[in-house]
Structure 1
């Protein structure tokens, strides 16, 4: 849960800007998008597997460039 206190003499625009930053940093927006639709466990595993393969491929390319 995100809590924010509006400071003395803080304008609404400043408070909204601070609130947006808090939401962004907390990952709440990302989590809401992820939970917007149900995703089967097999789809989650598949997506994580693809992400890991891409990460490994990128690391291999970087390691090959260092030689």
Structure 2
């Protein structure tokens, strides 16, 4: 779960921006999209292959 503590002199907009960044880094939305719809074995294989390719580049 992504958490952001708002500082005393910090605006809501900047805290919201930090929260959005934390959520995207944690991969919450991508997990949610994947869970909402059934994933066929072929789609699962393609997704994992793409993740492997991405991890090799880094």
Q: What TM-score do you get using the length of structure 2 for normalisation?
A: 0.67
Deviating runs (4+, > 3 A) in structure 1? 49-52
Distance in 1 between residues matched to 2:16 and 2:47, nearest whole Å: 37
RMSD: 2.4
Residues 33 and 49 of structure 1: is their aligned pair in 2 closer, same or farther, counting only changes over 3 Å?
closer
1:63 is aligned to: none
Residues 6 and 50 of structure 1: is their aligned pair in 2 closer, same or farther, counting only changes over 3 Å?
closer
Counterpart secondary structure, 2:4: coil
**Larger of the two Rg values belongs to structure:** 1
Deviations 1:42-65 (A, max 9, x none): x1x21215864xx8xxxxxxxxxx
Between the two proteins, the alignment pairs up a number of residues equal to: 50
1:40-51 superposed matches below 5 A: 43=40, 45-47=41-43, 48-49=45-46
Segments of structure 1 that go 5 or more residues without pairing to the other structure are: 56-67
